[in-house]
Amino acid sequence: MSTFLSVLINIIVMVGIVCGLFVLQKKHVSFTKRVLLGLGIGILFGAILQLIYGSSSEVVRESNTWFSLIGTGYVRLLRMIVIPLIFVSITSAIINQNNKNLGKMAGWIIGVLLITTAISAFVGAGTASIFNLSSEGLHVGESEILATERLENRLVDFQSKPFQQQFVEIIPLNPFYAMTGQGSNATLSVVLFAVLLAIATLGLRRKQPESAEFISKMVKSLHDVIMRLVTLVLRLTPYGVLALMTRVVSTSDFNEITRLITFVVANYVAMIVMLVIHLIILALFKLNPFTFLKKSAPVLSFAFTSRTSAGALPLNVETQVDKLGVSEGHANLSASLGLSIGQNGCAGIYPAMLAVMIAPTVGINPLNPVFLIQLIVITTLASFGIAGVGGGATFAALTVLSAMGLPVGLVGLLIAIEPLIDMGRTALNVSGAMVSGLVSGKVMNEVDLEVYSSPLSEN
């Protein structure tokens, strides 16, 4: 069968599946069920494509270029609305709520993000020790070495700036440039500008109430429009998850995965343990953890398949507000800060595991309490210090290993299996951000417990 005909058949099958999901939507099958169904069918369809054609075949490559119209198109739509959503949501929430406890809210959110990152670093280090992971005997190929060198060059550029300068650069010279998503600290810069603008509007109410009222109405109208746009885009989630999962499974290099299967399994064990810890934290604050799991399933599924915390932000906020009863201020600030601070999977578990794997090669006992304490502290601080810098977990690992004085060559070896591990890490990052919003909201009595406990909507 020709490549063209094979690709055409695959496209027809994908269109048929999409139509099936659309029929389920028309029959009012719940959003959560459709997302999970898209996830499951995507795994099955991707596995079938790989079994028939092979992960590197021309048929699979060409098919996925067409599937990307759905998958990549959906992710780009989500990323398109991230910055506008952050800006209008935070500004609107502070203005409308007249929030006098903004500092306390931010403090709780950042505190939870950093504390859970410290815990995740400990979990990562402990899991690596239990699985007896070591970098000894692992072969680094030429492509991996080149990839590591490129990442190290970026690390050198980042480290050339002192921490004080990195922190100051969160203040945008041009907020409109930050709103384009450009620059290493774009997300945090937009958050800061939105907060300052809202505070200025609140202050204006005392001296120029008419101007303040005009700004408030304008922000509210803009907020309503953006949220309507978010709703329209989120309706496409089951289709996006389907296409994204099909691509991931059909193109995964299972030979590399098999070669490093112990490392992959250890990562997922650590991430599952950390997710359980998230649930325990919620239980300690008297929030039903099973309710959280059920209601967060769609956003965690999307984060898993898309590997983008930023793309998951609209669904994160929508889930916290509409399904978990978190106030808009806590939901938006936790989701926004969670993009850049205290990512439990990428900046916590992963760097700590690599450090424990590498330590024996330079004569360090990874179980030494001094080493572990140093690792946890550095990992936690690094999760804040690299806020907004691209490169994800790989870049975070380079930063931590460099700060610990450990060689970074292992990072290049693991690039081949990054996509598989990154799916779980991204879902854990989003879970951590949602937990920080729930905890901060619960502490400040800004979680509607009736909404949190209510059954899932069937639309």
Supply the mean pLDDT for the chain. Answer: 83
What is the pLDDT, as a whole number, of residue 421? 86
Please tell me the predicted confidence (pLDDT) of residue 387.
Answer: 45
CB 120 within 8 A of CB 227: no
| 301-319 pLDDT per residue, tens | 888 887 788 778 888 988 9
Between 60-69, 72-81, 331-340, 414-423, the lowest mean confidence (pLDDT) is in 414-423
Using CB atoms within 10 Å of the CB of residue 153, give its burial: 0 to 12 exposed, 13 to 18 middle, 19+ buried: exposed
For residue 136, count other CB atoms closer than 10 A to its CB.
8
State the pLDDT at residue 199. 84
**Domain spans, the chain:** 3-453
Backbone CA torsion sign across 162, 332, 238, 66: negative
| Res 178: pLDDT | 81
Q: Which helix (H) or strand (E) holds 127?
A: helix 102-130
pTM higher than the cut 0.75: yes
Query: How many residues make up the chain in this entry?
Result: 459
The answer, yes or no, to whether residue 388 has pLDDT greater than 60, is no
Helical H runs in 160-288?
163-168, 175-178, 186-207, 209-234, 237-251, 254-259, 261-284
Q: At the topology level of CATH, where does 3-453 sit? A: Proton glutamate symport protein (1.10.3860)
